């Protein structure tokens, strides 16, 4: 069971890393969401142990640790908040610039190169 959890976490992390390298901002946000879910799967996978709940333990019996579940829930909430913020930022970029492609956004942010008046002339050149 632990091997299956490790493989699932590796696939999620690999897919998320691949999406982070894409040119579309939407895919980058999806990659961040997948890596966030990978962290949650890793936390849950690291705490797999059989035992009873800590609320009603038997004397001398094994207990399940509730801390990893609380950490996973916290990571889930923080991940969803981060995802909502990133989606709002991408939406604002698309509204402002009309595209979600990083290459096109890079070209939009560059100022137009203009030559100052008289920069191409040498002394003695008389052109009208």
69-102: pLDDT as tens digits:
899 999 999 999 999 999 999 999 888 888 888 8
Sign of torsion over alpha carbons 7, 9, 14, 18: positive
CA distances from 52 to 49, 106, 120 (A): 10, 55, 82
Radius of gyration of the chain (CA): 26
pTM for the model:
0.72
Helix (H, G, I), strand (E, B), or coil: what is residue 23? coil
Q: What is the mean pLDDT of residues 31-54?
A: 86
Other Cβ atoms closer than 10 A to 119: 7
Sign of torsion over alpha carbons 37, 43, 46, 52: negative
* 72 Cβ contact list (under 8 Å, min separation 6): 40, 43, 44
Q: Is pLDDT above 80 for 50? A: no
Residue 42 burial by Cβ neighbours in a 10 Å radius (0-12, 13-18, 19+): buried
2-48+66-107 adopts what CATH topology?
Helix Hairpins (1.10.287)
Q: Is pLDDT above 90 for 123? A: no
Opening angle at CA 78, ends 75 and 103, nearest 5:
110
């Amino acid at each position: 069971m632990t091997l299956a959890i490790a493989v699932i976490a590796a696939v999620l992390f690999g897919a998320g890393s691949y999406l982070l390298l894409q040119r579309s901002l939407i895919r980058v946000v999806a990659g961040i969401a997948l890596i966030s879910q990978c962290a949650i799967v890793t936390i849950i996978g690291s705490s797999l142990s059989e035992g009873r709940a800590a609320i009603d333990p038997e004397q001398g019996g094994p207990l399940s640790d509730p801390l990893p579940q609380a950490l996973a829930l916290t990571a889930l909430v923080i991940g969803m908040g981060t995802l909502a913020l990133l989606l709002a930022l991408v939406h604002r970029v698309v509204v402002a610039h009309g595209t979600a492609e990083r290459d096109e956004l890079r070209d939009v942010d560059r100022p137009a190169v203009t030559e100052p008046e008289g920069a191409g002339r040498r002394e003695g050149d008389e052109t009208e």
